[in-house]
A = this chain, B = another copy of it.
Amino acid sequence: MSLLVVGSVAFDSIKTPHGNKDRVLGGAATYFAIAASYFTDVRIVAVVGEDFTAKEEKVLLARGIDTSGIVRESGKSFFWAGEYGDNVNEAKTLDTQLGVFAAFNPQVPDTFKDSKYVFLANIDPVLQVNVRKQIGGAKFVAGDTMNYWINGSRQQLGEMLKVVDALLINDNEAKMMANDQSLPRAAQAILKMGPKALVIKHGEYGATVFFQDGAFGIGRHPFRAPTLPIERVTDPTGAGDSFAGGFMGYIASQGELTRDVFKRAMFYGGVMGSFAVEAFGTERLQTLTREEIEERYKIFRELTHIE
Contacts and interface: CB of A to CB of B under 8 A. Distances in A.
Interface of A: 86-88, 180-185, 187-188, 202, 204-206, 208, 210, 221-224, 226, 229-233, 260, 263-264, 267, 299, 301-307
Contact of A263 (B204, B221, B306): B306
22 contacts: A86-B182, A185-B231, A185-B232, A187-B229, A202-B205, A205-B205, A210-B229, A221-B299, A221-B303, A222-B303, A223-B302, A223-B303, A224-B303, A224-B304, A260-B306, A264-B306, A267-B306, A301-B306, A304-B304, A304-B305, A305-B305, A305-B306
Given A221-B303, A224-B304, A267-B306, 16 more contacts: A86-B182, A88-B182, A182-B231, A184-B231, A185-B232, A188-B231, A202-B205, A205-B206, A223-B303, A223-B304, A224-B303, A260-B307, A263-B306, A264-B306, A305-B305, A305-B306
A250 to B, nearest CB: 12
**How many copies of this protein are present in the complex?**
2
Contacts of A188: 231
A174 to B, nearest CB: 11
Nearest to A301: B306
Contact of A224 (B208, B210, B226): B226
A84 to B, nearest CB: 11
Contacts of A263: 306
A123 to B, nearest CB: 29
Closest 8 pairs (CB-CB, A-B): A86-B181, A205-B205, A184-B229, A184-B231, A263-B306, A185-B231, A224-B226, A304-B304
Contacts of A187: 229
A294 to B, nearest CB: 14
A231 B186 CA distance: 9
A206 B208 CA distance: 12
B302 A221 contact: yes
Nearest to A205: B205
B230 A184 contact: yes
A257 to B, nearest CB: 15
Contacts of A180: 86
* Of A229, A267, A305, most B-chain CB atoms within 10 Å: A229
A302 B210 CA distance: 13
A134 to B, nearest CB: 35
A89 to B, nearest CB: 10
A182 B306 contact: no
Nearest to A86: B181
